[in-house]
């Protein structure tokens, strides 16, 4: 591939999803020479709920891609509908917290391949060198930088690129994380997702939907601009093991929640079912000498809180801030890059507590119903929870005395959620 073997780059970003494209755009806008490598020849459909929360749109505006995103066919999302195993449902809206921390009150839904393609083209416009159909097979550290061994995705001829800093934005099965010895195996209960699209789903409105099923499974629904319903069913891997029976398992699951049963009473599957496991991705740490991991490459958990795209964008912007300073000072050791690790941990810590809370809650059917009744009586609490998962209500909002009292009233004994 011409122009790479002898041309040194400031940053090589591996992965052309939202995290990679956002980091590339942010760093190219700062004047750095950026190479972005993506193994796919073109943006492809992903196993994804395809929901973009309001705060994510603010980052997209910051990197210069919002007008293109809004010009693409999309569906606005006003909040979330939550339902319990017995069919109690609560409609929530993205709230204005403390006088509106977010200027946006609506999220959106659009196909991932179009979303990813727009962000990639934006990174190119900002000055990044985009190379599609290029896979990474090796990283070697030399004095002054990293040497990346590359090849065309459908070829065997190897070539090299050099960069002062490498950012791994290559998703759950990150080659950068693996090659640098940063990957860790998942721990605890192994979760899996079955993902597909249905047509003819009844009653879908302007909200995304999260339906809890008995025993800790759940089903996320999101209406697409084309009228199909994006369906993500999450359960323990053991429950999804009868391969090639995924549709029967989905139909059986829909029947275990009254609202889901009604939604899918006459619906037909429109696309193949794809199963992904394990959901959890872990790394030792998201930094090494001259290396940073962003988005899912740095870690991914069971997506009940529905914020994967925002997490990708947010960690990319954190990494870009630290990378800019590190490159300017030519200080690219793990000690310098650890500031990104600290920033990410400070942001992720409260999120992981919320994630752990929900994971414990949804396995306790009676407490789910009790919690649902409490939210139905106090819809403003539901709005706060959705705002928290939508990333513009801070976790401390749940610690207000009036809010905490209502949460405890619905979830006594509260401590049982943290075994």
209 and 256 in contact (C-beta within 8 Å)? no
- Calpha distance 23→345 (Å, rounded): 18
**DSSP class per residue in 61-74:** HHTT-HHHHHHS--
208 shares a domain with 140: no
Whether 86 is covered by a domain: the verdict is: no
Q: Tell me the average confidence (pLDDT) per consecutive run of 10 residues in the chain, 419 residues long.
A: 71 98 99 98 93 90 97 92 91 64 74 98 98 96 94 84 98 96 90 95 93 92 95 91 81 94 96 92 96 95 70 97 98 98 90 76 87 82 70 62 58 40
61 shares a domain with 210: no
Q: pTM of whole model > 0.75?
A: yes
| Total domains, the chain | 3
Of 235, 258, 276, the last residue of a domain is 276
Whether 400 is covered by a domain: the verdict is: yes
392 shares a domain with 310: no
Contacts (Cβ under 8 Å, ≥6 apart) of 142: none
- Residue 95's pLDDT is what? 64
- Calpha distance 226→109 (Å, rounded): 11
- Calpha distance 135→34 (Å, rounded): 17
Whether 197 is covered by a domain: the verdict is: yes
310 shares a domain with 168: yes
Give 38's strand partners.
Answer: 132
Full residue range of the structural domain in which residue 252 is found: 191-276
142 shares a domain with 55: yes
- Residue 391's pLDDT is what? 64
Whether 342 is covered by a domain: the verdict is: yes
- Calpha distance 156→261 (Å, rounded): 50
Whether 101 is covered by a domain: the verdict is: no
E strands within 274-331? 274-276, 282-283, 287-288, 291-293
Q: Specify the CATH number for the domain of residue 323.
A: 3.50.50.60
Of 292, 326, 349, the last residue of a domain is 349
150 shares a domain with 54: yes
64 shares a domain with 118: yes
The CA–CA distances, whole Å, from 350 to 344, 354, 385 equal 11, 6, 13
Q: Which of 304, 378, 383, 353 has its CA nearest to residue 80?
A: 383
301 shares a domain with 327: yes
289 shares a domain with 271: no
337 shares a domain with 207: no
- Calpha distance 63→25 (Å, rounded): 6
**408-411: long-range contacts, CB 8 A cutoff, minimum separation 24:** 409/374, 410/370, 410/371, 410/373, 410/374, 410/375, 411/361, 411/367, 411/370, 411/371, 411/374
115 shares a domain with 29: yes
Of 276, 309, 338, the last residue of a domain is 276
- Calpha distance 127→27 (Å, rounded): 9
- Locate all alpha helices (DSSP H) within 159-209, ordered by sequence: 175-179
Q: Specify the CATH number for the domain of residue 249.
A: 3.30.9.100
């Amino acid at each position: 591939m011409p122009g790479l073997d002898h041309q040194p780059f400031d940053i090589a970003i591996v992965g052309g999803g939202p995290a990679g494209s956002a980091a590339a755009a942010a760093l190219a806008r700062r004047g750095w020479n950026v190479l972005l490598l993506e193994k796919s020849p073109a943006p492809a459909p992903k196993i994804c709920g395809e929901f973009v929360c309001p705060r994510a749109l603010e980052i997209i505006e910051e990197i210069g891609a919002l007008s293109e995103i809004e010009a693409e066919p999309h569906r606005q999302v006003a909040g979330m509908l939550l339902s319990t195993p017995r069919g109690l449902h609560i409609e929530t809206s993205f709230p204005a917290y403390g006088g509106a921390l977010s200027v946006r009150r609506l999220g959106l839904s659009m196909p991932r391949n179009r979303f990813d393609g727009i962000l990639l083209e934006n990174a190119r416009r900002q000055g990044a060198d985009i190379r599609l159909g290029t896979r990474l097979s090796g990283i070697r550290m030399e004095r002054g930088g990293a040497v990346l061994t590359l090849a065309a995705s459908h070829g065997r001829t190897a070539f090299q690129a050099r960069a002062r800093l490498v950012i791994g934005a290559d998703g759950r099965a990150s080659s950068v994380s693996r090659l640098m010895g940063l990957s860790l195996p998942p721990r605890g209960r192994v979760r899996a997702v079955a993902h597909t699209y249905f047509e003819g789903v009844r009653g879908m409105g302007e909200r995304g939907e999260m339906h809890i099923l008995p025993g800790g499974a759940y089903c996320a629904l999101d209406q697409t601009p084309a009228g199909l319903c994006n369906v993500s069913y999450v359960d323990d891997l053991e429950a999804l093991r009868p391969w090639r029976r995924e549709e029967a398992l989905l139909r059986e699951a829909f029947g275990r929640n009254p609202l889901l049963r009604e939604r899918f009473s006459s619906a037909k599957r429109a696309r193949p079912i794809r199963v992904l496991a394990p959901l959890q991705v872990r790394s030792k740490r998201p930094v090494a000498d001259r290396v940073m991991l962003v988005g899912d490459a740095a870690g991914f958990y069971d997506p009940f809180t529905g914020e994967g795209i925002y997490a990708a964008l947010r960690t990319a912007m954190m990494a870009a801030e630290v990378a800019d300073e590190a490159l300017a000072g030519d200080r690219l050791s793990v000690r310098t890059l650890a500031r990104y690790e600290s920033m990410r941990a400070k942001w992720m810590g409260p999120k992981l507590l919320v994630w752990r809370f929900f994971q414990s809650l949804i396995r306790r059917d009676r407490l789910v119903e009790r919690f649902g009744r409490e939210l139905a009586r106090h819809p403003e609490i539901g709005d706060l929870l959705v705002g928290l998962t939508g990333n513009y209500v801070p976790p401390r909002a749940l610690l207000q005395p009036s809010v905490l009292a209502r949460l405890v009233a619905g979830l006594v004994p509260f401590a049982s959620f943290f075994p």
